[in-house]
Amino acid sequence: NLPVGTTSIKNTASIVDPIDPTTPITPVVEKPTEGKITAVKTIIGNPATVKPGDVLTYNITLSNSFGTAKAGVTASDNVPNTLTSISAISNSGTLTGNKIDWTGLTVPANGTLILSFNATVVANLPAGTTSIKNVASIIDPIDPTVPVTPEVEKPTEGKITAVKTIVGNPATVKPGDVLTYNITLTNSYGTLKTGVTASDDVPATLTSINTISNGGTLTGNKIDWAGLSVPANGTLVLSFKAIVSGDLPVGTTSIKNVASIIDPIDPTVPIVPEITVPVNESPAINLVKAVTNTGTAVGGAFNVGDKIEYTFTIKNTGDVTLNNINITDPLISNSIINIPGSILPNNEIKHVANYIVTQADADAGNVTNSALVKASSPAGNIVEDKSGTTTVGDDPTITPIAQNPLLSLTKTAVVGVHNKIGDIINYNLVVKNTGNVTVTAIAITDANADPGSISPASIASLAPNATANITAKHTVTQADLDRGYVTNIAKADGKDPKGGNVHAESTDPTPIPGAPVVPGCTDCTVTPIDQTSA
């Protein structure tokens, strides 16, 4: 190990001759030295760390500390694949692939020779890259079997990565679910990453945001994190909780949440981890139809012409907001009723519609029907329910209509001269429906009428307040002459809508003047007979 700066080795002897002992003879021999060169590899600027896109200038400084020029030196550099775009190679070096070769180099005595080149750190460093190491190989002819291997290694500073997940990894979510979101920042490099910021614009489909980690702040629906540090070769997990809204907008089939991570290494291009999870909604609806007024008949029953007030109660029994609500009811004049607005889960709205009782309703004895409600969920699913009288079941709403089946029958005799056997007495009868239901199969009978003279003897149907005119005849007999009058009552018998019997007996609204009163039969039609004694 020659001292640094040794350029030659000089050796002097001392010869003392007795003839002149005070002046020694000093023979000298001196030879220049030849030693092995040294080498140092550096990066200009000596950066503390390097990152993708950095352009690095490498210098390989060969030093010859001896007094003889060093010729025939060769050098090479196998540039690692973490560097690209190799250029500006000095000293006529040649590039093959990623390898640079220099040949025929001369390092001056007591001097240096600098080899240099430029290279760029690749944009996508392999995962786990914590540093970039570059080693050269210098072959000194003085010792060609043992190369000089100067190297330089710098820690890398790469862009972090981020993944967003939901704890438990649910296949689907539904309104009311509490979700815990994790944003995992990963630093795969050997340098601590500081000054990282993150934000999360939580969608309106999530609410009640809470339990925000790492000092995050909430403004509206936006979470911000600042001054974050991600350890070298480590991770940092940001988290928060939110609840799936019960008022999901129409058309919502999934919930997408995107975060934005700003890495100081590349602040203009944020990292945007996201996660989308399908919504599994359970929409449901319930309809109750009830009568909320009373009629004009006894006991609050309804008559023809009365207004029935129906109140529809629509309840959202599912877990999502319902929209596009409509009721179909064949009783209502506009059979499809569109209900404005929407209904939140566990809420209800009411709608009132009126119906006027008809004769057909009175004949039926009640108004019986059901309505149907339909609505759409945020995902576009249609839900429906047939109305019931309570929230359980789909029983039809039955409204009783008062039924009062009645007939009246009048019978009058046509004034004339009736004083002998064979004279004809003509009768006019009027049957009237004085009730509020239709009476059918009405038969007119009269025990005192000539057989076959009642016309018509039957009436198929008679509506309330309707009348039918009937005629009948009676031929005067000897018994009538002996009695001095003819008296009788006609009868009308029909059926009400339920098959019940409706019966009426005739009265005489216009008795013939001078006709006798028949004891026990004040309603009889009495026709006087002229009696002439012989």
CATH architecture type of domain 286-398: Sandwich (2.60)
Q: If phi over 0 gives left and psi between -120 and 50 gives alpha, with beta otherwise, what is residue 123?
A: alpha
As separate numbers, helices (DSSP H) first and strands (DSSP E) second, the chain gives: 2, 38
The helix or strand, by DSSP H or E, that contains position 295, with its residue range, turns out to be: none
pLDDT at position 534 is 39
Residue 345 in tokens:
């889960």
Superfamily grouping for domain 407-528: Immunoglobulins (2.60.40.10)
The answer to whether 192 touches 229, Cβ cutoff 8 Å, is yes
At 158 the pLDDT is: 73
Q: How would you classify the pairing of strands 407-413 and 501-507?
A: parallel
Which phi and psi angles does 78 have, rounded to 5°?
-85, 90
CA distance 481 to 484: 5
Domain map (residue ranges) of the chain: 38-155, 161-278, 286-398, 407-528
CATH for the 38-155 domain, from 3.30.43.10, 2.30.180.10, 2.60.40.740, 3.20.20.70: 2.60.40.740
Q: What is the pTM of this model?
A: 0.60
Q: Do domains 161-278 and 286-398 have the same CATH topology?
A: yes
Q: Summarize pLDDT for 241-292 with one digit per residue, the tens.
A: 999 998 888 778 899 999 999 988 878 889 999 999 998 888 999 999 999 9
Q: Which CATH architecture has domain 161-278?
A: Sandwich (2.60)
Tell me what pLDDT residue 506 has.
96
Residue pLDDT, tens place only, 216-250: 999 999 999 999 999 988 999 999 999 999 888 87
Gap between the Cα atoms of 115 and 57, Å rounded: 10
Please tell me whether residue 360 adopts helix, strand or coil conformation.
helix
Beta bridge partners of 134: 152
Q: Note the pLDDT tens digit of each residue in 137-177.
A: 999 988 888 899 999 998 887 778 999 999 999 999 998 89
State how far the Cα of 281 lies from the Cα of 381, in Å rounded to an integer: 9
The secondary structure of residue 322, as a DSSP letter, is B
> Is the model's pLDDT at 5 over the cut of 60?
no
Q: Which tens digit of pLDDT belongs to each residue from 291-314? A: 999 999 888 889 999 999 999 999
Give CA–CA dist 310/369, Å, rounded.
11
pLDDT, residue 2, reads: 60
Supply the DSSP symbol for 82. Answer: T
Least confident of 88-97, 412-421, 446-455, 470-479: 412-421
* 114 backbone dihedrals φ, ψ, rounded to 5°: -110, 125
Contact 161, 266 (CB under 8 A): no
